[in-house]
Each structure stands twice: as structure tokens, then as C-alpha cells.
Structure 1
């Protein structure tokens, strides 16, 4: 194995170790401190930038290994076709073993680079998901703390310890709406009575001239 493929293999082992560290169950406070350090550390940011450049080179190696595998496959396919047609052996024993070895090394390099790139995507997505999980857990704890504070305030204000603050506030709003509806009903009844009275007066005034005639 050449030097750069050895470095790719070491990088793959490092990614596997980091992935195991990310999914290892830790207490919430420890995990929050760890990911806060990773997110805010300038050294980690520089390392991440260098890793992005490294993965670009690994992508180039992956494309080259795929090309080598394809060419070896074409060479073996052409040799097998010529032998099936009854021609002379295109590849001798040593030459065939050499082609098979090149095929093996090319496939090994392709799988090595491919798994390294694939695991880098998994690490990135796992890191983002863990950050979202920590953010949601912190928001949940803050909401629980705020709801407990609000419930205590509502108990002190209303004197009812069995009623949460939000429910009491909604009930007060419903009572105010009911009072407004009752007030509007009374106004509508008064307007209806006044309308009927004016209608009776108008009909009486229309009937008086007819009697005089």
C-alpha cells in the first residue's frame, strides 16, 4: 500500500473512532460542554478546514481508483472474449495473475476511499443531529423552568394552587368575552324594543287620519 493510501486508511480509522465517540452515551452536561468546545474552538475550526481539503484529494483518489477498476475489467473482458472465440491465449499465467492483482488493488483502493468519504458524510450528519438534539433539550428545560415560574406566579395572584397560570388566564378571558356577549345581547334587546315601539307609533299615526276622513 502506497503512502497516500496508508494515510487514507489511518483517516478511516480516525473517523471510526470519532463516530464511536459521538454515539457513546454521555451525560447531558458533559456532552454539551464537549460540543460547545468543538463548535467554538478556533483550533477545531482549522482542523475542519484542513479536513475539507483532504477530502477533496480523497475524492480525486476515489475517481482514479474507479477508473483503474473499469480499465482492468475491460482488459479482462477482452481477454475472455478472445479465448471464447477459440483464439490463442491473450494473457499467460503470470500476466493473468498480474491483471488479477491490479484488479484487487484497484478495488481495495476504491472501497477504501469510498468508505472514507461515506463515513465523513455520516459524521457530518451525526454531528448536526446531535447539535439539534442538544438545542432542543436546552429549550425544553427552559420551557419547563418558565412554566413552573409562571404557575407559581399565577398561584400567588389567584390563590388557587390547583390551577395553572395559563388555564386561569384563559378562563378570565372567556369570562370577559361572556360579559361582553351578555352586554351586546342587552343592547340588542333594547334596540328591538325601541324599534317595535317606533313601529307601533308609526302605524297608529297612519291609522288616525283614516278615521277622521
Structure 2
């Protein structure tokens, strides 16, 4: 198995572990804290952006593996036709085994990439469903008059995609820095304008004193 397919297999195992972690029964408070952390963490937001790029490459590998399976299937059908006519059966024995081996590896890579992409969709849907369940549970607790739910009534309403709040916080901090830099530039321009105005007014006032 080549390096990139080994990485795809490692990603598949990681997705399986994450899926098991999502479906493990946990208390409502722990699960709420976990999903709030996933939503607010900027590290998770960066990982999510990197995973999107990674899944694009995996999709390309999946399409390539499907193409290889199709081409190997055509070669095997050509061998079957030649064997049926009785020609080149002995000569093509080793070649046929080599083609069958390539078919096996191509199918393995296709299944590996396909299951990795499919499990990523399952993980996304499972996350959304669990989040909806947590929101409904929090609404039920608040309607029943639970003080703990009322104190944190809007905590899960802000939770969306993994790392979304963390990404928004980073964007807000960047905009604040840009605004501070812009204010400094405006102040510097205002000071320079005042200085030039003082110089112009001073140069105009000097001849009047001589007169």
C-alpha cells in the first residue's frame, strides 16, 4: 500500500474512533460541554478547513481508483475472450494473474476511499442529529423549570458546525486589529494635517508682522 493510501486508511480509522466517541452515551452536561468546545475551539476550525481539502484529494483518488477498476475489467474481459477462442491461453497465464492482482488492488483502493468519504458524511449527519437532540433536551428542561437549563439556555443555540464560533472569534479579532490600525492611521493623518495647517498659518502670519 502506497503512502497516500496508508494515510487514507489512517483517516478511516480516525473517523471510526470519532464515530464511536459520538455515539457513546454520556450525561447531558458532559455532552453539552463537549459540543460547545468543538464549536468554539479555533483549533477544530482549522482542522475542519484542512479536512475539507483532504477529502477533495480523497475524492480524486476515489475517481482514479474507479477508473482503474474499469480499465482492468476491460483487460480481463479481453483475456476471457482470447481464452474462449483457444488462442494465447498458455502465453497469457502470467499476464492474466498480473491483471487480476491489479484488479484486486484497484478494488481495495476504491473501497477504501469510498468508505472514507461515506463515513465522513455519516459523521457530519450524526453530529447534526446529536446537536438537535441536545437542543430539544435543553428546551424541555427549560420548559420544565430546570434552573440549570435556564442559566445556560442559549449555550447550545450558538453551537453550529465544528469550530464555527472559534472561526468567527478569530475573524472578529482580526477585524478589531484592522480597525485599531485604521484608527491609528486616521490619527496620524489628523496630526499631520494639523501640523501642516499650523505651518501654513504661521507662514501667512509672518509678513503681516513685518508690515
Q: Same fold (TM over 0.5)?
A: yes
Cα distance in 1 for residues equivalent to 2:91 and 2:29 = 64
Match of 1:57 in 2: 57
TM-score normalised to the size of structure 2?
A: 0.67
Whose Rg is larger? Answer: 1
Cα distance change, pair 91–124 in 1 and its aligned pair in 2 (3 A): farther
Cα distance in 2 for residues equivalent to 1:100 and 1:5 = 20
Cα distance in 1 for residues equivalent to 2:40 and 2:88 = 67
TM-score normalised to the size of structure 1?
A: 0.66
SS at match of 1:145: coil
Moved more, 73-82 or 1-10: 73-82
Q: CA-atom RMSD, angstroms?
A: 1.3
Aligned residues: 146
Structure with the higher fraction of residues in helix conformation: 1
Contact 1:38/1:44 (<8 A) preserved? yes
Contact 2:79/2:96 (<8 A) preserved? no
Instruction: Spell out structure 1 runs of 4+ moving beyond 4 A.
Output: none
Cα distance change, pair 25–91 in 1 and its aligned pair in 2 (3 A): farther
Contact 1:79/1:91 (<8 A) preserved? no
Cα distance in 2 for residues equivalent to 1:91 and 1:23 = 55
Match of 2:10 in 1: 10
Matched, 1:115 2:149: no
Cα distance change, pair 138–100 in 1 and its aligned pair in 2 (3 A): same
SS at match of 2:144: helix
Gaps of 5+ in 1: 147-213
Cα distance in 2 for residues equivalent to 1:25 and 1:72 = 46
Gaps of 5+ in 2: 147-211
